[in-house]
């Protein structure tokens, strides 16, 4: 069966590799989101979707970049697409942040969402080790540092950045 007849497009990156990268982005976004699930409104599903979306946008950007007419024209800049992904995630993260009096809530969730997007970009580019290391570092920072910061705040002044 000729798949090009139904619109299938050959890619420069093999499609099974793209699927592996999307899966890795989902797993690594889930690692970050799992910790957030217990302490924030934007948890497991949100972080997985952000990481996968960032991965997909990055994969598509580099596929578009490798189209012959785009490369030959010299008008392509794949970094701009990654900047757009970053701006989109920042917009989502900003929506998770709100202020009530002297308390700011959601800041850590917004940062986690932004980081999940970066992990998705790393997975898209094939930097699995870096993505995994950053996801683990994020969980260490989120889980262990919470204990440290809660222990250092007087009991009558405890505030959570993500409730």
Task: Report pLDDT digits (tens) over 60-116.
Answer: 888 887 775 665 666 667 778 788 888 888 888 888 788 888 887 888 888 888 899
Which residue shows structure tokens 């580019």?
125
Domains in the chain, number? 1
**Average confidence score pLDDT of the chain:** 81
Helix (H, G, I), strand (E, B) or coil at 136: helix
Structural domain includes residue 119:
yes
Whether residue 50 has pLDDT greater than 80: yes
DSSP assignment of 33-56 equals HHHHHTTSSS-HHHHHHHHHHHHH
> What gap in Å lies between CA 143 and CA 163, rounded to an integer?
15
7 lies in some domain: no
Would residue 9 count as lying in a domain? no
Range of the structural domain that residue 120 is part of: 14-150
Please give the torsion angle defined by the CA atoms of residues 37, 87, 80 and 123, in that order, rounded to the nearest 10 degrees. 0
pLDDT, residue 163, reads 46
Residue 20 has pLDDT above 90, yes or no: yes
More confident position, 159 or 23? 23
pLDDT of residue 157: 45
More confident residue, 160 or 134: 134
On whether the pTM is more than 0.85, the answer is no
Kindly list the distances between the CA atom of residue 17 and the CA atoms of 23, 29, 37, 137, in Å, as whole numbers in the listed order: 10, 18, 29, 25
The pLDDT score that the predictor gives to residue 133 is 94
In a domain, residue 156? The reply is no
Kindly state whether residue 115 falls inside one of the protein's structural domains: yes
In this structure, is residue 96 part of a structural domain? yes
pLDDT tens per residue, range 108-150: 888 888 899 999 999 998 999 999 999 999 988 888 877 776 6
Within 10-97, where are the H helices? 15-37, 44-65, 68-73, 78-95
Q: Is residue 38 part of a domain?
A: yes
Whether residue 8 lies inside any domain: the answer is no
């Amino acid at each position: 069966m000729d798949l090009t007849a139904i619109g299938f497009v050959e890619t420069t990156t093999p499609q099974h590799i793209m699927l592996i990268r999307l899966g890795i982005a989902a797993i690594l976004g889930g690692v970050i989101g799992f910790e957030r699930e217990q302490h924030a409104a934007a948890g497991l599903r949100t972080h997985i979707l952000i990481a996968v979306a960032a991965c997909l946008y990055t994969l598509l950007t580099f596929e578009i970049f490798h189209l012959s007419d785009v490369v030959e024209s010299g008008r392509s800049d794949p970094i701009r697409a990654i900047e757009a992904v970053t701006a989109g995630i920042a917009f989502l993260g900003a929506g998770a942040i709100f202020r009530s009096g002297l308390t700011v809530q959601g800041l850590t969730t917004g940062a986690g969402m932004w980081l999940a997007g970066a992990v998705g970009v790393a997975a898209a580019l094939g930097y699995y080790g870096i993505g995994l290391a950053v996801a683990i570092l994020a969980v260490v920072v989120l889980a262990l540092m919470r204990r440290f910061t809660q222990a250092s705040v007087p009991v009558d002044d405890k505030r959570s950045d993500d409730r």
